[in-house]
Structure 1
Amino acid sequence: MSAPPAGRPLPVVDADSAPFWAALRDRRLMVQWCGTCDRHVFYPRALCPHCHAELAEWVECSGSGTIHSYTVARRPAGPAFAADVPYVVVLVDLDEGVRMLSNLVTDDVDSVRIGARVAVRFEDVTDEITLPLFEPAPDA
């Protein structure tokens, strides 16, 4: 595995997000923690969006959450995604209090519901990039 499917964009790894992407390769979902205001922060950044303190600490998340919103894509977002339709784009409220945009992996796109419990799963896209996707929680 060294290249994503043809035409698929890859995330840009920068200094702020490098610890996030490195943890995903190890099958760990990490977010930042602000020790000044005691809040989790996502997406990766240099300053806390709540109190503007510098962010340096990373903490592991449970990977569990609930669906805040979703859409079912029945037309691909370009030719590189044609084989995936229909697919679910999901906004997940993680139990740690941050919201993450991703995909929900399911064989039944019509059963997806707001408020449903989900769990993270990891998809290796290249040797360097692993994506955090979600699936219905096993106990849901």
Structure 2
Amino acid sequence: MTETSPNVAERLPTSPLEQYRAHLTQGHLAFQVDEDGRALFYPRVAAPVDYRGELRWATSAGLGTVYATTFISPKGEPCYNVALIDMDEGFRLMSRVESIPADQVRIGMRVKVRIHPAEGDEGPYPVFDPLEAA
């Protein structure tokens, strides 16, 4: 008889996604780092192939740079942007830059995270403001 490894759900008290959401609820943008200190984002159970060891949580200082952006103009609704943000800690995430018109978001713009609070069935999520306006 061979020994089987425990189910991931049995080993973790909560999923990485739930841990990430708990950090957001507390007003923090969290990410994971491997044993060499390299940043990972989106939350995951185990490090990917090029990373080492157990993953631990870290909290971002919240500063980043717009890597790419576009804006969408739905008919009859306000424009909004979608942006890829390179965080100073070394990870990238997709979000929005708010507090300015969607078409004024620029590549290279420095931004600061703001946690949008939970509303109804939607949990908290990170959005960004230009650093000058934050």
TM-score (ref. length: structure 1):
0.75
Matching residue of 1:66: 65
Q: Which amino acid aligns with 1:58?
A: W
In the aligned structure 2, how far is the partner of 1:43 from the partner of 1:123? 18
Unaligned stretches of 5+ residues in structure 1: 1-13, 77-81
In the aligned structure 1, how far is the partner of 2:51 from the partner of 2:92? 18
2:83 to 87, 90, 93: 90
Matching residue of 2:37: 38
Q: Which amino acid aligns with 2:88?
A: D
Cα displacement (A) at 1:103: 1.2
In the aligned structure 1, how far is the partner of 2:128 from the partner of 2:37? 26
Relative to 1, partners in 2 of residues 1:138 and 1:72: Cα closer, same or farther, differing over 3 Å? same
Cα displacement (A) at 1:99: 0.2
Kindly report the root-mean-square deviation, in angstroms, between the aligned alpha carbons of the 2 structures: 2.2
Q: Which amino acid aligns with 1:130?
A: P
User: CA offsets, 1:29-79, max 9 Å, x none?
Assistant: 1101111x3201100001222325332x10110111000001101127xxx
In the aligned structure 1, how far is the partner of 2:37 from the partner of 2:74? 41
In the aligned structure 1, how far is the partner of 2:27 from the partner of 2:102? 25
Contact 2:99 2:133 in 1 (8 A): no
Cα displacement (A) at 1:139: 6.9
In the aligned structure 1, how far is the partner of 2:73 from the partner of 2:110? 23
Counting aligned pairs with the same residue, the percent is: 34
Matching residue of 1:133: 127
Matching residue of 1:102: 95
- Rg larger in 1 or in 2? 2
Unaligned stretches of 5+ residues in structure 2: 1-13
Give aligned pairs, total. 119
Contact 1:67 1:116 in 2 (8 A): yes
Instruction: Judge which range, 119-128 or 59-68, deviates more.
Output: 119-128
State the SS of the aligned residue for 2:96. strand
Contact 1:64 1:120 in 2 (8 A): yes
Q: Which amino acid aligns with 1:104?
A: V
